[in-house]
Amino acid sequence: MANTFLYFDHSATTATDPRVIEAMLPYFNTLYGNPSSLYSVGAEARKALEKARATIAEVLGARPNEIIFTSCGTESDNLALRGTTLAARCTGNHIITTAIEHHAVSNTCVQLEREFGFQVTYLPVDPDGLVDPDAVGRAITPHTALISIMYANNEVGTIEPIAEISRIARRHGIPFHTDAVQAPGLLPLNVDELAVDMLSISGHKFYAPKGIGILYVRQGTRLLPTQTGGGQERGMRAGTENIPYIVGMARALELADSTRLSEVPRLSRLRDRLISGIVESIPDAILTGSRNQRLASHASFVFPGVEGEAVVLKLSMLGIGASSGSACSSGDEGPSHVLSAMGLQHPVARGSLRLTLGRENTEQDVDRVLKELPGVIASLRAMSPFYNAEGTIAVQPVKSL
Ligand code: PLP
């Protein structure tokens, strides 16, 4: 049993950076005012709020009044989707999204479909998990009110051609939203270069605390507020602002942005070592997601003949924290909707494992995984009805990758 715990699940969440905690601390009990109050502690809180907004706007290449603070990535996605489509419901009733979105987007689409009469096109993806920009163009109708396509997929790490797709949306005058929750610190976030109208971010994916998020909304985009009340955030998201967390998230985004260019090559080297080591040492291991259009931090696989959750539990007993697909879908019945959309079906898709790297991971950590994982997979396969003694898969993937 290992005496150190190695964390390989940074796509699920990250530890709060001590520099972020330090920036937050005064706003709990010294500068604790409500930013709407007129006296001094209120004014201090207001100053901190607007400074954080300006910092975030600068990283995104946006105007400060285009930044809306929310409670998480899920809320940002909900506000973007429900807010724009309900604002446009008299003129448009059609939404375009993909089959591989996070449930924060896909379940909101399902609700808009069932309860509000919208029609939703769920675009397919290729075996790498990539959306075809031409398919987006073909799906547009005179009634399309919104296009929402994620920047990078949380389960398989595939990076979507957002800048290309957003320009198609712009040519048709359709608002374009991207769920960029997996992007900070790993991908460029300039909203003009990406040509997006709305972009969702969640603090806990880049070393800020859980429970704080951002929705960027380009000036001029029509949005019906989904949370009404005291008029905070220019009336777009009522509720007293969470100043310590907003200050922390601004600091975290600044840090993530300033280290991105050095961290991405380092993480990519670790990721590539992990991918080639696993594919070479474990028979029939399949890399899921694109080999090239892939987040620097992300390695994901399926191992036919095993259950992903069993792999995760065995790794946990060895002191390694990983996940089987998305943290948010654990407990779901059946194989992942992302792997199914990529053509991998039950039971092969059940053997999924996601290893996601972060700031503290080293080559030695990767070597530990490469040492332990082959034995874990072999021991589980020895008990599997789907993997025979000769080492061949008894059930083939429906479509090979
Ligand atoms: N979108 C993506 C792509 C995610 O990976 C996640 C979380 O894993 C979310 C949205 C939801 O973010 P939050 O946990 O802040 O609600």
Q: pLDDT tens-digit profile of 241-287?
A: 999 999 999 999 999 999 999 999 999 999 999 999 999 999 999 99
Task: Identify which of 148, 328, 338 to mutate to test ligand 1's pocket (most ligand atoms within 8 A of the CB).
Answer: 328
Mean pLDDT of the residues in the chain = 94
Q: Is 328 a catalytic site residue?
A: yes
Tell me if 165 sits within 8 A of 187, measured CB to CB: no
CB of 356 sitting under 6 A from ligand 1: no
Domain boundaries, the chain: 6-13+260-382, 18-256
Question: How confident is residue 334, by pLDDT bands cut at 50, 70 and 90?
Answer: low
pTM here is 0.95
Residue 256 has φ and ψ, to the nearest 5°, of: -60, -40
Residue having the nearest C-alpha atom to atom 5 of ligand 1: 154
Q: Give the per-residue pLDDT at 398.
A: 41
CB of 213 sitting under 6 A from ligand 1: yes
Decide yes or no: CATH 3.90.1150.10 for domain 6-13+260-382.
yes
Q: Which of the listed CATH numbers 3.90.1150.10, 3.40.640.10, 3.50.50.60, 3.40.50.2000 matches domain 18-256?
A: 3.40.640.10
How far does residue 10's CA lie from ligand 1's centre (Å)?
12
CB of 384 sitting under 6 A from ligand 1: no
Region 323-335: mean pLDDT is 63
CB of 181 sitting under 6 A from ligand 1: yes
Report the alpha-carbon distance of residue 122 to residue 348 in Å, rounded: 23
